[in-house]
Amino acid sequence: MRTTLRTTAVAVRAMVVFTLLLGVAYMLLITAVGQVALPFPANGSLIKTADGQVSGSQLIGQSFTDADGNALPQYFQSRPSAAGDGYDSTASSGSNWGPENEDLIAAIEERKAASVELDGPGQIPADALTASASGLDPDISVANAERQVARVAEARGLSASEVESLVNAHTIPRDLGYLGDPRVNVVELNRALDAL
């Protein structure tokens, strides 16, 4: 009986010590390092307006549509989202539909028709037709951005070269020079357009 009590007491003390060490002290240390070394990403890469109001995050895509869900022609359109009602960070996920799923095929056809209506016929990049795995992807391919340049320029009364230069300025190169593809953060690009 005394051995069992002693063993239990040792186990409880070890649990308390390791909970304080790993559950509290370690988290405080990592939070402090993040705040000192990388405060912007550690706080969610929040985008703020000139008056200090949070308008989004560089890490989470946004919908640039009207109240009826129609694409606003003066904005670059983000990659489609399958997260909740669209870009819902509390429901992050893809559709999990397989390549032969009828719902996926129907969604792609619907997005294709919407893209042709918005930007005219032509080669439509895959990221304009399919949602990302998280449903929150803030980036689109350079080809997707270039397809939208003429529409955005016309809707804003700008030259295509002005809009193209903004796309080039907001193109993010491959990570480490060779990982992934170049991409454009739609939220940042649309903010730059609004700032013109």
What does the alpha-carbon distance between residue 84 and residue 90 come to, in Å, rounded to a whole number? 8
pLDDT tens for each residue of 54-84 = 878 888 888 898 888 888 999 999 998 887 7
Q: Verify that 156 and 86 share a domain, yes or no.
A: yes
Tell whether 48 is covered by a domain: no
Same domain for 3 and 84:
no
In a domain, 178, yes or no: yes
pLDDT of the chain along its 196 residues, tens only? 778 888 999 999 999 999 999 999 999 999 999 999 988 888 888 888 778 888 788 888 888 988 888 889 999 999 988 877 777 777 787 778 888 999 999 989 999 999 999 999 999 999 999 988 787 888 999 999 999 999 999 999 999 999 999 999 999 999 998 999 999 999 999 999 988 8
pLDDT for position 85: 75
Position of tokens 């190169």?
173
Per-residue model confidence (pLDDT) at position 62: 86
Give residue 178's pLDDT.
Answer: 92
Total domains present in the chain: 2
184 C-beta neighbours (distance < 10 Å), count = 24
- Confirm whether 49 is domain-assigned: no
Please check whether residue 150 is in contact with residue 119, taking contact to mean a CB–CB distance below 8 angstroms. Answer: yes
Residue ranges of the alpha helices (H) in the chain? 2-18, 26-37, 39-42, 102-119, 142-156, 160-169, 186-195
Tokens of residue 178, six digits: 């060779």
Q: Would you say 172 and 184 are in contact if contact means Cβ atoms under 8 Å apart?
A: yes
Burial 164-176 (b: 16+ CB within 10 A, else e): bebbeebbeeeee
Domain span holding position 121 = 54-195
Residues 92, 112: one domain? yes
Q: Determine the pLDDT at residue 27.
A: 94
- Are 61 and 87 within one domain? yes
151 and 177 belong to one structural domain: yes
